Amino acid sequence: MKLLSIFLAIFVSTIVVISGQNPRVTVTEGNLVGKTVQFSENQFINVTKNVDMFLGVPFASPPTRFAPPEPMTPWEGDRNATEFSPACQQVPQPLFYPVTSEDCLYLNVYTPSLKPSGIPVMVWIHGGGFSTGTVMDYEYYGVPLVAVGDVIVVTINYRLAIFAQFSTEDEESPGNYGMLDQVAALEWVYNNIEAFGGDKNRITIFGESAGSASVSFHLVSKLSRQFFNQAIYQSGTVFSPWAFKDDPVAELEKAQELGREIGCEDTVSSSALVSCLRNADAVELSTAADKVYESQYPVTLDGFFLDDSPTNVYKMGDFANVPILIGFNKDEGTLIPFASFPAYVGSPTPPPINRTYFEGVVKQILTNYGKDDEIVYDAVLQEYIDWTMADDPESDYFQSWVNFGTDSDFACPSDFVMRRHVEAGGTVYKYYMTHAPSKSILAYGDQFPSSPWLGAGHAEDLTFVWGQPFIDELYHIHGHNLTDEENALSVKFMQFWTNFAKSGDPSKSSVGGEAGVGEDSWPLYTIPELKHKELSLDLGEGRAVLARQCRFWNEYIPDLEAFAKTIDEDEQEWRESYDDWKDEMTDWQKAFEDYQQLPTCN
């Protein structure tokens, strides 16, 4: 039976290279020669379609380390665009990314064959915590999306980790190079997509996790806005606490510590430090940086890509209020326990978490995010400890940890963005993925078996958005063993996403077309209705999901922090007055002692 199911999976979904067909386009820098594949699926999608692919297309020159991207030099003759380019340099992960390079500023273009014209474009920005990942493999293979939606799909690489974010907090190395790479890629697509049959005035940017936060940053940065018209956020925004940090003193200290770790003689002079680190071995540098930066590489305020904080930009209403589709998954917070307890990978049950461990985790995470006021910590514990079982020392706090991570990192930063866009008159569609896949996207063969306790966890939406059940090349990873209902759900995901790119409404396949009904309907997110589409096997609708929790994070906690700051300022003023009083008292005491030494009349 198992062999039969495998045979059927391979039979109904095939992607075959068509020999002798080499599509050609002319872009700004020269001619590109790609390849054509035939995608055929006759059970869930019922489509046979040719797709042209142009892989490993340079959108910038090989970058100089710790410098902004530069335009690509034109080439002569035809350039082969039939193979993926390397992943960007990152901490070595031979199992996932065996080939990495600093020369990595390339993109892939997937387009319907037969020379379309004026069709919508979707530009994908991958996730990975700004430190890992690539689009140069089959995880983000655009063929199923193109076949289902008749859109053009572009996937882009960008610099990662220390190569993206190293900053000396001055003009020598201001940082945000990965974001500038993304801007360069968006500009290249805008200037060249018509050669592939795309409409440069109908570009939707979309991404997941750090890629979703990147999408959000492009709605804030003035450098990016002219290069797209719509956006899709999947689990992350500029307000996710891991996405942005404005602490120039800490950044400079880490830069200098990295220099010492590498063995640079001069870590005080920015120019000397940058020069030294530019000559360091890439693997040695990335490994040392991961130790110093603790694998955290948030976007910073550089005065160029970002000239103000996202909070101030949104407060002033100075963001690109384009139509957005935005959402998150029910169990996003299982990601950190998954990474923290490798012994439980593949286990049918999650790691047991006691109250002491949970409280320590909350304290550490809040400190990492700059929320280290004791009053904030106490409030978070009050919110997330289950007080009905708090007196039992055997109580398990795993779900409290999951809820804390889901709400603070993903759900409520998304809620904040949705509300601001609606208040500014924008168009917003919200999703909430509750389906827990029968096999997790984080599973990887025998090395990382599936963990059912991940639920509808972080990144699980990717399997469905990218039609991964229909990509033969992923068979060795995901096994093509999702259920028939899940395969059908993947088709719905792809239709919703490409519909939004085509019409600005995930329920309509064209501008002015009829809205979907039943499971194909999708409510507009408005205030106070707060409706969302539930992405599950039932494809229903809901409202006000996690509204109380997001009121806590988006309104109560900021008010509490402002109050704590006022207390701190009052206390500091009191301490300064007290110190002045003590100095005066010391002077008075000395004068009094001197007086006592004077001769007196008997």
Residues noted as catalytic: 209, 332, 458
3-state secondary structure of 528: coil
Q: How far apart are CA 385 and CA 399, in angstroms?
A: 10
Dihedral of the alpha carbons of 369, 371, 376, 382, in degrees to the nearest 10: 10
3-state secondary structure of 556: helix
CB atoms within 10 A of CB 101: 13
DSSP secondary structure of 61-89:
PPPPTTS---PPPP-SSEEE--SPPPEEP
| Pair 76, 110: CB distance under 8 Å | no
C-alpha triplet 164, 302, 415: angle, nearest 5°:
85
Dihedral of the alpha carbons of 480, 431, 458, 473, in degrees to the nearest 10: 30
Burial class (CB in 10 A: 0-12, 13-18, 19+), 227: buried
**Block residue for tokens 């025998």:** 446
3-state secondary structure of 282: helix
Here the tokens at position 254 are 């880490």
What's the sign of the alpha-carbon dihedral 425, 154, 302, 290?
Answer: positive
Cis peptide before 528 (omega within 30 of 0): yes
Q: How far apart are CA 238 and CA 178, in angstroms?
A: 15
| Pair 48, 65: CB distance under 8 Å | no
Here the tokens at position 348 are 């049918």
Q: How far apart are CA 103 and CA 96, in angstroms?
A: 18
Q: How far apart are CA 232 and CA 209, in angstroms?
A: 11
Q: What are phi and psi of 120, to 5 degrees?
A: -65, 155
Q: How far apart are CA 510 and CA 506, in angstroms?
A: 10
3-state secondary structure of 595: helix
Q: Which helix (H) or strand (E) holds 103?
A: none
Give the ranges where 470-514 is alpha helix by DSSP (H). Answer: 475-478, 484-503
The closest alpha carbon to 216, from 303, 322, 295, belongs to 322
**Block residue for tokens 């599509």:** 23
3-state secondary structure of 571: helix
Can you say whether residue 286 is alpha, beta or left, with left for phi > 0 and alpha for psi between -120 and 50 degrees? alpha
Q: How far apart are CA 432 and CA 461, in angstroms?
A: 10
Amino acid 575 reads R
Amino acid 325 reads L
CB atoms within 10 A of CB 476: 10
Here the tokens at position 88 are 């960007």
Q: Report the largest interatomic distance among the alpha carbons of the chain, rounded to a whole angstrom.
A: 123
